[in-house]
Amino acid sequence: MKKIPDLKTEEEIELFWDEHDSTDFIDWDKAQKVRLVNLQKSAKTISIRMPVDMIETLKIQANKNDIPYQSYLKMLIADGLKAHG
């Protein structure tokens, strides 16, 4: 098996695995399942322009559901992605 180089940034890691096959570096027949109980998805901040009245409606609906409006928006987007995926 080849040795995985010391990759320091997310960009280096992504570029490396885009150009290499993991089977050259990892014996997947010896792999074991592990459970990562505290793993959180990485998040990236975005900016989106929305009409003010849409934001107010979003906040009202989120409040009715006792959910922070940004969490409610993420939930709506996730539901939409599932429905149209």
Q: Note the pLDDT tens digit of each residue in 33-44.
A: 998 888 888 889
- pLDDT for 38: 87
When pLDDT is averaged across residues 40-69 and rounded to a whole number, the result is 95
Asked if 46 and 26 sit in the same domain, the reply is no
pLDDT band at 27 (very low <50, low <70, confident <90, very high): very high
Residue 35 lies in a domain: no
Asked if 26 and 46 sit in the same domain, the reply is no
Q: How many domains does the chain have?
A: 2
- pLDDT for 4: 96
pLDDT band at 75 (very low <50, low <70, confident <90, very high): very high
Q: Distance between CA 82 and CA 54 in Å, rounded?
A: 22
Asked if 25 and 62 sit in the same domain, the reply is no
Nearest to 4 by CA among 23, 31, 28: 23
Query: Using CA of residue 48, residue 52, residue 55, residue 57, what is the dihedral sign?
Result: negative
Answer yes or no: are the C-beta atoms of 10 and 34 closer than 8 Å: no
Angle between helices 69-84 and 52-64 (to 10 degrees): 100
Asked if 51 and 85 sit in the same domain, the reply is yes
